[in-house]
Amino acid sequence: MAEAPSKEPGGLSTRVILQLCGGAVLLVVLVAIGGGLLDEARPVRTAAGVQEEPVPTPALRSDAPAKAPAADAPVVPAADPELAERPVEVLLEPAAYEFGFMRPEEVLVRTIRVTNLDPHPVRLKGTWRGCSCTTLDVRPRILQSGESLDVPATMTAGLTPTTKDSTVKLEIVGRPPIVLPVTGEIIRGVRARPRDIQTYRFRGPEGNYTPSGRVVLDSPEGVPFRVLSVNGEPFQSESQLVHVIPWSVEAFDATTGLDSDGRGVPQYWLVETDHPETPVMEIMVRHRGNRPEPRGERPWFFVEQRVNVGGIPRGQAGEFVLPIKWAGGKPNTGDRLVAAHAESEAFSASLVNAAPQGRETLATIRIRPSDGYEGPFAGPVVIEGEHFVASVPVVGHAARSVEP
The answer, yes or no, to whether residue 354 has pLDDT greater than 70, is: yes
Domain presence at residue 135: yes
Domain presence at residue 219: yes
pLDDT tier, 402 (very low <50, low <70, confident <90, very high otherwise): confident
Lowest pLDDT segment from 81-85, 95-99, 369-373, 378-382? 81-85
Lowest pLDDT segment from 30-39, 96-105, 116-125? 30-39
Domain presence at residue 27: no
The answer, yes or no, to whether residue 230 has pLDDT greater than 70, is: yes
Check whether residue 285 and residue 307 sit in a common domain: no
Domain finish residue from 171, 186, 201: 186
Check whether residue 247 and residue 149 sit in a common domain: no
Check whether residue 206 and residue 174 sit in a common domain: no
Check whether residue 308 and residue 230 sit in a common domain: no
- What is the model's pLDDT at position 304? 87
Query: What CATH number is given to the structural domain containing 242?
Result: 2.60.40
Mean pLDDT of 354-380: 94
> Higher confidence at residue 65 or residue 279?
279
pLDDT tens-digit map of 280-293: 999 999 998 888 88
The answer, yes or no, to whether residue 149 has pLDDT greater than 90, is: yes
- What is the model's pLDDT at position 399? 96
Check whether residue 193 and residue 150 sit in a common domain: no
Check whether residue 322 and residue 255 sit in a common domain: no
- What is the model's pLDDT at position 132? 62
Residue range of the domain that includes 111: 82-186
In one-letter notation, the amino acid at residue 204 is G
β-sheet with 107-116: strand ranges across: 90-93, 107-116, 148-156, 134-136, 128-129
- What is the model's pLDDT at position 358? 84
Lowest pLDDT segment from 122-136, 179-193, 258-272? 122-136
> Higher confidence at residue 304 or residue 54?
304
pLDDT tier, 203 (very low <50, low <70, confident <90, very high otherwise): low
Helix residue ranges per DSSP H, 106-194: none
The answer, yes or no, to whether residue 17 has pLDDT greater than 80, is: no
pLDDT tens-digit map of 261-277: 999 999 999 999 999 99
Check whether residue 302 and residue 404 sit in a common domain: yes
- What is the model's pLDDT at position 106? 92
Phi, psi of 42 (to 5 degrees): -75, 130
- What is the model's pLDDT at position 280? 97
Mean pLDDT of 102-127: 91
Domain presence at residue 33: no
Tell me what the pLDDT averaged over the chain comes to: 82
Mean pLDDT of 181-197: 93
> Higher confidence at residue 88 or residue 229?
229
Domain presence at residue 8: no
Check whether residue 178 and residue 196 sit in a common domain: no
Check whether residue 239 and residue 300 sit in a common domain: no
Residue 218 CA: distances (Å) to CA of 222, 273, 281, 377: 9, 11, 12, 22
pTM over 0.85: no
Domain finish residue from 159, 186, 213: 186
> Higher confidence at residue 352 or residue 52?
352
Domain finish residue from 167, 186, 205: 186
Residue 245 CA: distances (Å) to CA of 163, 200, 214, 227, 373: 21, 19, 5, 9, 25
Domain presence at residue 5: no
Strand partners, 91: 115
Mean pLDDT of 67-85: 55
In sequence order, what DSSP letters do the residues of 220-256 get, joined into one string?
TTS--B-EEEETTEE----SBSEEEEEEE-TTS-TTT
Highest average pLDDT, of 21-30, 129-138, 334-343, comes from 334-343
Strand partners, 377: 396
Phi, psi of 391 (to 5 degrees): -115, 150
The answer, yes or no, to whether residue 384 has pLDDT greater than 90, is: yes
Mean pLDDT of 217-228: 97
Check whether residue 287 and residue 302 sit in a common domain: no
Query: What CATH number is given to the structural domain containing 156?
Result: 2.60.40.10
- What is the model's pLDDT at position 291? 82
Total of domains in the chain: 3
The answer, yes or no, to whether residue 246 has pLDDT greater than 90, is: yes
Domain presence at residue 178: yes
Check whether residue 265 and residue 356 sit in a common domain: no
Displacement of CA 391 from its chain's centroid (Å): 24
Check whether residue 280 and residue 325 sit in a common domain: no
Domain presence at residue 275: yes
pLDDT tier, 380 (very low <50, low <70, confident <90, very high otherwise): very high
